[in-house]
Amino acid sequence: MKIKGSKVFVTGSGGFIGSRLCSLLVKEGAKVTALLHYNSRGDLGNLRFLPSDELREIQVLRGDITDSSFVLRHLSGYNIVFHLAALIGIPYSYVAPASYLRTNIEGTLNILEAVRQCEIDRMVHTSTSEVYGTALYTPIDEKHPLQGQSPYSATKIGADKIVESFNRTFGSPVTILRPFNTYGPGQSRRAVIPTIISQALYSDEIHLGDLSPVRDFNYVDDTARAFLRIAESDGVLGKVFNAGSGKGITIGRLAELVNDLCATKKPVKMDAERVRPELSEVFELICDNSAAKNIMSWEPEISLREGLAKTIEFMKSNSDFYNKFEYAI
């Protein structure tokens, strides 16, 4: 279906992926409503980094996806829902798993019920490569078994399955996008790349967890384009699509690359506080993105080196956005 002229509702719009998606939607001519998680400060989250002319085109709504009546009351009249709102920090899911159940599973159920009752044309649900767990084979395609190796990934598996069930049971027009490790400007220090960059820029040493896991990093603009393509494409309803680069790199090698791009030589040390429980660590994620290429005509355009350079420049220019010294979970 066409993005231009469509009324579009984006949950999780204050996140660094959601805000980039809102920007692309405005450029494509969509009428965008951006749902932000309510707080008394009226924060815009990462929407604050959008150019003022784009931000003026976005209707900002504040609320909570765990409030079913709120969701149902506000989703009427839209053509497309992009559902990105979620609790995403893996270490925090170890200490507050119930909050992940409420937001990631119950919140998704509320969105699905509203999509069904409001007869919305299409919903794109955001999954994560973490649902695959440590790879049983690589590259990982959409048929790979799902393995809940953290409370976070378990709740995302639950959310994916509820989405799948609504398509099978009610014929809901839903599809699932499964991004691999997205990174880029505006990402919090909860994630590994901003953690490495901030320490390379401002600390004497780079402290990380296990350096051996392999990840497939995808630049945020490429991920945002995948959301557009899956919404526009035919033959995607009821299906899951991976979005990743198809290339893996160890966390240790990633730290070396950031050191190189920052022109620093900070020593990299493994910190026991940052190591995940052994059976919870996901040791290898490399994407098979052939389905997205073949059906959605999507593939990444920005290399890891180029994307890291853009992210480093952003972090240098927006240092007040980051708590440079606290370990963020």
Average pLDDT over every residue of 284-297: 96
User: pLDDT per residue over 200-256, tens digit each?
Assistant: 999 999 999 889 999 999 999 999 999 999 999 999 999 999 999 999 999 999 999
What 3-state class would DSSP assign to 152? Answer: helix
Contacts for 302 with CB less than 8 Å, ≥ 6 apart? 219, 221, 222, 310
Average pLDDT over every residue of 44-73: 96
DSSP string, 233-290: -SS-TT-EEEE--S--EEHHHHHHHHHHHTT----EEE-GGGPPPTTT---B--B--H
If pLDDT is split at 50, 70 and 90, which confidence band does 257 have? very high
User: pLDDT per residue over 72-131, tens digit each?
Assistant: 999 999 999 999 999 998 889 999 999 999 999 999 999 999 999 999 999 999 999 999
Residue 254 is predicted with a pLDDT of 97
Residue 323 is predicted with a pLDDT of 60
If pLDDT is split at 50, 70 and 90, which confidence band does 28 have? very high
Phi, psi (deg, nearest 5) at residue 179: -70, 140
Report whether pLDDT(324) > 60.
no
How far apart CA 104 and CA 88 sit, in angstroms, is 9
Choose the weakest-confidence range: 2-16, 189-203, 302-316: 189-203
Longest CA pairwise span in the chain (Å)? 57
How far apart CA 47 and CA 321 sit, in angstroms, is 13
If pLDDT is split at 50, 70 and 90, which confidence band does 190 have? confident
Residue 281 is predicted with a pLDDT of 77
Average pLDDT over every residue of 146-174: 97
Instruction: Give the rounded percent of residues in the chain with a pLDDT score beyond 90.
Output: 85
Work out the number of other CB atoms within 10 angstroms of the CB of residue 176: 24
Residue 328 is predicted with a pLDDT of 56
If pLDDT is split at 50, 70 and 90, which confidence band does 188 have? confident
β pairing state of 249-250 and 214-215 = antiparallel
User: pLDDT per residue over 121-153, tens digit each?
Assistant: 999 999 999 999 989 999 999 999 999 999 999
**Structural domains of the chain in order of their starting residue, each with its CATH number:** 7-183+218-246+287-301 (3.40.50.720)
How far apart CA 149 and CA 134 sit, in angstroms, is 8
